[in-house]
Amino acid sequence: MATSDGWRVEIVRRGRSRWYRIVHGDAVFDWLTIATVQRILEEAGVDMANLAAVDEPTRAQRDRQTGAA
């Protein structure tokens, strides 16, 4: 989910674990609980109601972005 002004909230899943990540510009906040996501966005003046679903990049798109083969 993302806002038009550059905030992005991602749900990350690895095995049986799940956590949240916030990306804004060059800043990445990882391994967050939903309560922490809410707090960070609130402190930044971002209304969670402004988050909108975004299309997930394909693996090929992610590889091109990161330079992976």
Please tell me the distance from the alpha carbon of residue 30 to that of residue 63, in angstroms, as a whole number.
20
58-67: average pLDDT: 58
The predicted structure's pLDDT at residue 26: 93
The predicted structure's pLDDT at residue 55: 81
The pTM of this model reads: 0.76
**Tokens 């939903």 found at:** 34
C-alpha triplet 29, 54, 45: angle, nearest 5°: 50
Please write the tens of the pLDDT for every residue from 21-56: 999 999 999 999 999 999 999 999 999 999 999 887
